[in-house]
Amino acid sequence: MKRFATRRSALFVLALGLIVYPLVVSRFWSVTIGAHALILGIIALSLIFLAGYGGMISLAQTAIAGMAAYAVAILTVPRLPQQILAIPDEPHWPAYLAVAAALLIATVMGALFGLIGVRSQGIYLLMLTAALGVGFFYFAEANYDFLGGHGGIPEVVSPIGYTSQNPAVFYYISLAAAVALYLGVRYLVRTPFGLALQGIRDNPRRMRALGYSVGLHRIAAFGIAGFIAGVGGVLTVWYNGSISPGTVDLTRVIELLVIAVVGGLIFPEGAFVGALAFVLVDTFASSVPAIGGFSFRERFNTLIGLTFLLVVLFSPNGLIGIAQDLTARLRRRRSAPPREPLTESLSRVGRDPASAHADPASEP
Amino acid sequence: MRTRRMTLARLLAVVFVGSLFAGACQVGGGGEIKIGGLATLEGPFAVPGQDSFRGMELALDEFAGPKDADGKWTVAGKKVTLIKEGSDATPDVALAKAKKLIEQDNVDILIGPLSGDEGLLAIKPYAKQNPEKTFLNGSSAAQDTTFRDPAPNFFRFSTDGAQWQAGLGSYAYDVKGYRNMVLVAEDYSFPYTQVGGFMYEFCDKGGHVVQKFWTKLGEKDYSAVVSGIPAGIDAIYVALGGADAINFLTQYQAAGGTAPMVGGSITVDQTVLGAQANIPEDYILGTPSAGPIADSNDEPAWLAFVDAYQKAFPDGLPSPSLFAHAYYIETKAALLALEEVNGDLSGGQKKFMEALSKLKFDTPTGPVGLDANRNGIANQYVTEVAKKDDGSLYNKVVSVTQAVDQTLGLGADSPYLAQPVSRDFPSCP
C-alpha cells in the first residue's frame, strides 16, 4: 500500500513537471530539447514496440515517419517550390485532413513493409528494413516531380504557426501525442492481440500450432508501428518547418536505433529516455570543453558512439536497465523484500533480447 | 510490475528535474557581444567547414584583435566571443544548430551556413522568425536565399553562385567560340544557381545548351551521362564538386570523350589539377572557370590575405579556399558595422542592421556593398588552367568582372530572372 502511494506520488510529480515545464523554461528548452526529444521518442517508440513486443527490429521506421512528413508537406504547403511541376495546383488541404491522410499513408506503408518482411527474422529482417529505409531516402533524393529532390519541400508551417514562436503550444501537442501513444502501446500489449504478438515473439512455432496467424499478427504490428512513426513524422515536419531527404538519411536511421538501444530496447519508456539523452548529448557535446586537443565540437559523433558502446556493454537494457539495477540494489539493502517474479521474467526476456526473441532454431 | 513502473516514474522525474535545473542555469547577456559561427564539420563539406572557421578567426584577429587570455576579442570597447557549431550539410541539422546558437547560447549575430540548401531551407525561414537577431550568410550561395522573398535581417556579402559565374558564359561564347554545349551538374540549389549564372550570359549571346544532365551529389557512376552526351557538341559545362568532378572526367576520358570542359566555381580546384587525378594534362589545360576568388590573383590585398592566412594557420590549406574567404568577409562586415554603431545592439539591432545594409568596404578581392535585397555586389574572376614553369597546373586570372550584381547586369525584370533557377530554367536548347 505504501509502495503504491509512493508510485502514485512519483507519477503525479512527473505529470505535473511535464505540464509545468514549458511555462518555466525558455523556448529553446521547450521546443528544441523538450518537443524534439518527445518527437524522436515517438518514432523510437514505434521501433521499440516492434522490437520489444514483436521481436522484430525495423530500420524502416525513419522512412515511414519521413513519408508522413512528406505527405503533410505536399498537402498543406501553399506555395510548392518551382521544381514540383507534376502537381498542377497546390492541394492546400486543411491541416486535419492532411494529417489524417499522412497517418493513413504511414499505416498502410508500415503494413506493406511488414508484408515484405513477414517471413524474415533477426539480422535478415534488419537488413531488409534497412534496405527499404535507405531505398526511400534515395527515392526522395531522386524524385523531383513530387518530393522536390535534394532540396525537399521548404516552408511547411504548422497549424499553430512557426513552432519556435509558439513553443508551449507545440510542446503540449507533442506531449499529448507522446502520452497518448505511450499509453496506447501499454494498453495494446495487454490485449489479446498484444499477448499473441508477444507469444509469437517468444515462440512463433508454438503459436502457429495453437492456431494463430503469425504472419497477420506481424503485419498488423508493422501497421501499428507505422501509425506511431507517422505521428512522429507529422510532428517532425512541423518542428523543422521543411522536409528534405536529409531527414531520412542513413545517419538518422542509425540515430534512431541508438536512441532505442540507449533507452532500452524492450521498454516503451526507454524510447523517451533514450531520445532525451540523445538530444542532450547531441546539443551540448559541442559545449564540452576540449580535452588536450580533442574537441567534442568536431567529434560529437565519437562522443555519441562512446556513450552507445558503454551503455550496450554495461547495460544491455539501456538507461532504463541501469535505473532498474540501481533501484533493485537500493531496495535489497533497505528491506530485502522477496524477489518478485518480475526480476525473473526480466532476466529471461530482458537480459538478452536477441536470444529471448524469436529463436531461429525454433523456426521450421 | 509495480516495482518497475515506480522506478521508471522516479527515473523520469529525476531526469526531468535535472533538465529543469540545466534550463534555469542559462548564461546571462551582459555587456558582451556573442557571434555564432555555423559551418559544416561533418559530411561531404567537413574540410571546407574547417576552413570557414579559419576565415572567421582571421577576420576577428584582424579587426577585433588581438585575442585576450580568455579567448575573447574586442570591438568598440566590448568583448566579443565566438561560439562555433557544426552541421552535416543537411537543413535539419543546420536548423537545430542555429536554434541552439540563437536560443540557448543567446548569440547576437549568427554567421553561416556553408551550403546552399542549408541557407535556403533552414536559415532564411528561421531568420524570418527571429527579426531581432542579425543573420549574416557564410558561403551558402543559392539564388533565392536573397533574390526572392528575402528575410529583412539576412545579409549576404559573399554573393551567390550565379554571380560567381559572371563573365564565364561570355568567355565561352566569345573567346572559346563554343556554340552548342551540354551540362553536367549536381542536382540541388547551389549548382542550379551556378548553371543559371553561366546560362544567363551564354544563352543571351545566342549559345545553346542542348541537354542537361543532373546527377546526385556524391555520384560515383557516370556511365549513363557519358554515353548520353551527344556527338558534335563544342564543350561540356561541368558544375560538380571536387571528387565528383574527378570521377566524371576520368570516366568521360576512359570512354574516349574529347569535348573540352568549362568549369563551375568549385569544379577545377587543386584536387582536379593535382597530379593524382588521372586526367590528361592537355585536356585540362585551357579549361575556363569562374568564381569569387582566384588562387593566382596577384593584387596586393589578396597576397596580404593569403600571407595572413598562412601565418595564422600553418596546418591549414596551402591557400585560403573560397569558403574561408566568404566567412572572412562576412565576419569583417559584422565587425565593421559593430564598430560603426559603437557596439550598440539595443532596440532589436535596428541601428546595427542599418549600418550593415549601408556598409561598403574592401575585401581581399575588391570592394563590396549590398543591394536592396541585402545581397553583395562584388568583383568576380574568370580563370583558365595554365602551366607554371615547374610544370604544375594552376588557374590563371584572365579577366575580372567588376561590381557584379545578383542579376549579372541583366536587371531584375529580365526574362532570365522571371523564374527561379531550377533543373529546367533557364533553358536555351
Contact A33 B86 (CB under 8 A): no
Which tops the pLDDT comparison, A65 or A289?
Answer: A65
For the ranges A1-10, A294-303, B229-238, B343-352, the lowest mean pLDDT is seen at: A294-303
Enumerate the domain spans of chain A: 25-337+346-362
Contact B125 A340 (CB under 8 A): no
For the ranges A26-30, A87-91, A247-251, the lowest mean pLDDT is seen at: A87-91
Which tops the pLDDT comparison, A223 or B268?
Answer: A223
For B53, which residue in chain A has the nearest alpha carbon? A298
pLDDT at A148: 82
Contact A144 B187 (CB under 8 A): yes
Query: Taking residues B384-410, what's their average pLDDT?
Result: 91
Going by their DSSP bridges, the two strands B33-40 and B361-363 should be labelled as: unpaired
pLDDT at A349: 41
Chain A neighbors of B95, CB-CB under 8 A = 240-241
Domain count, chain B: 2
Residue A353 confidence (pLDDT) above 50: no
Residues B255 and B287 both lie in one domain: yes
Which tops the pLDDT comparison, B359 or A304?
Answer: B359
Residue A344 confidence (pLDDT) above 70: no
What value of ipTM does the predicted structure carry?
A: 0.79
Residue B236 β-bridge partners: B182, B261
Most confident of A74-78, B164-168, B411-415: B164-168
Express as a percent the part of chain B with pLDDT over 90. 66
Contact B187 A149 (CB under 8 A): yes
Grouping H, G, I as helix, E, B as strand and the rest as coil, residue B64 is helix
pLDDT at B393: 85
Contact A244 B15 (CB under 8 A): no
Residues B368 and B311 both lie in one domain: yes
pLDDT at B30: 54
Residue B393 β-bridge partners: B387
Contact A244 B11 (CB under 8 A): no
Express as a percent the part of chain B with pLDDT over 70. 92
Query: Taking residues A309-336, what's their average pLDDT?
Result: 82
- Would you say the pTM of this structure is higher than 0.90? no
Residues 6+ apart with CB under 8 A from A108: A223, A226
For A341, which residue in chain B has the nearest alpha carbon? B1
Contact A241 B95 (CB under 8 A): yes
Query: Taking residues B157-162, what's their average pLDDT?
Result: 95
In angstroms, the separation between the Cα of residue B11 and the nearest Cα of chain A is 7
Is B58 part of any domain? Answer: yes
Chain A neighbors of B1, CB-CB under 8 A = 342
Residues B238 and B363 both lie in one domain: no
In angstroms, the separation between the Cα of residue A91 and the nearest Cα of chain B is 21
Grouping H, G, I as helix, E, B as strand and the rest as coil, residue B141 is coil
Residue B83 confidence (pLDDT) above 90: yes
Which tops the pLDDT comparison, B282 or B306?
Answer: B306
Is B87 part of any domain? Answer: yes
pLDDT at A86: 57
Q: How many CB atoms lie within 10 A of CB B24?
A: 11
Q: How confident is the model at residue A323 (pLDDT cuts 50, 70, 90)?
A: confident
Residues 6+ apart with CB under 8 A from B271: B242, B243, B245, B246, B277
Query: Taking residues B335-359, what's their average pLDDT?
Result: 94
pLDDT at B26: 40
Q: What is the architecture, at CATH level 2, of domain A25-337+346-362?
A: Orthogonal Bundle (1.10)
Q: What is the CATH number of the domain that holds B113?
A: 3.40.50.2300
In angstroms, the separation between the Cα of residue A350 and the nearest Cα of chain B is 13
pLDDT at B28: 39
Of B100, B122, B419, the CB nearest to A82: B419
For A186, which residue in chain B has the nearest alpha carbon? B5
Is B28 part of any domain? Answer: no
pLDDT at B293: 93
Query: Taking residues B369-385, what's their average pLDDT?
Result: 95
Q: What are phi and psi of A65, to 5 degrees?
A: -60, -40
For A84, which residue in chain B has the nearest alpha carbon? B422
For the ranges A223-227, A285-289, B327-331, the lowest mean pLDDT is seen at: A285-289
Cell matching residue A28: 529553446
Query: Taking residues B147-163, what's their average pLDDT?
Result: 94
Chain A neighbors of B26, CB-CB under 8 A = 26
Contact B217 A21 (CB under 8 A): no
Residues B394 and B260 both lie in one domain: yes
Cell matching residue B108: 547576437
Residues B324 and B212 both lie in one domain: no
Taking the C-alpha atoms of residue B235 and residue A154, their distance in angstroms, rounded to an integer, is 35
Q: How confident is the model at residue A87 (pLDDT cuts 50, 70, 90)?
A: low
Express as a percent the part of chain A with pLDDT over 90. 55
Domain ranges, residue B239: 163-291+388-417
Chain A neighbors of B28, CB-CB under 8 A = none
Which tops the pLDDT comparison, B289 or A341?
Answer: B289
Classify the phi-psi angles of B322: left when phi > 0, otherwise alpha if psi is within -120 to 50, otherwise beta: alpha
Of A36, A141, A297, the CB nearest to B86: A297
Chain A neighbors of B187, CB-CB under 8 A = 144, 149-150
Contact A14 B9 (CB under 8 A): yes
pLDDT at A357: 44
Q: How confident is the model at residue A364 (pLDDT cuts 50, 70, 90)?
A: very low
Residues 6+ apart with CB under 8 A from B328: B55, B56, B58, B59, B305, B320, B363, B364
Residues 6+ apart with CB under 8 A from A336: none
pLDDT at B11: 54
For A246, which residue in chain B has the nearest alpha carbon? B90
Taking the C-alpha atoms of residue B193 and residue B374, their distance in angstroms, rounded to an integer, is 18
In angstroms, the separation between the Cα of residue A120 and the nearest Cα of chain B is 31
pLDDT at A81: 60
**A153-191 pLDDT tens trace:** 888 888 888 887 889 999 999 999 999 999 999 999 999
Contact B99 A164 (CB under 8 A): yes
pLDDT at A360: 43
Question: What's the mean per-residue pLDDT of chain A?
Answer: 85
Residue B54 confidence (pLDDT) above 60: yes
Q: How confident is the model at residue A316 (pLDDT cuts 50, 70, 90)?
A: confident
Contacts for A333-340: CB closer than 8 Å, 24+ residues apart: A340/B2, A340/B3
Residues B393 and B275 both lie in one domain: yes
Residues B212 and B285 both lie in one domain: yes
In angstroms, the separation between the Cα of residue A87 and the nearest Cα of chain B is 16
Contact A340 B424 (CB under 8 A): no
Contact A144 B423 (CB under 8 A): yes
In angstroms, the separation between the Cα of residue B249 and the nearest Cα of chain A is 22
Q: How confident is the model at residue A341 (pLDDT cuts 50, 70, 90)?
A: very low
Residue B35 confidence (pLDDT) above 50: yes
Of B15, B41, B129, the CB nearest to A297: B41
Residues B337 and B243 both lie in one domain: no
A31 neighbors A163 (Cβ within 8 angstroms) = yes
Q: How confident is the model at residue B29 (pLDDT cuts 50, 70, 90)?
A: very low
Q: Please report the beta strands in B33-123, taking only residues with DSSP state E, as ranges in sequence order.
A: 33-40, 73-75, 78-87, 109-111
Residues B169 and B284 both lie in one domain: yes
Going by their DSSP bridges, the two strands B376-387 and B366-370 should be labelled as: antiparallel
Contact B11 A320 (CB under 8 A): yes
Of B3, B91, B187, the CB nearest to A342: B3
A30 neighbors A167 (Cβ within 8 angstroms) = yes
Classify the phi-psi angles of B396: left when phi > 0, otherwise alpha if psi is within -120 to 50, otherwise beta: beta
Of B4, B13, B122, the CB nearest to A14: B13
pLDDT at A89: 65
Q: How confident is the model at residue B316 (pLDDT cuts 50, 70, 90)?
A: confident
Query: Taking residues B36-50, what's their average pLDDT?
Result: 87
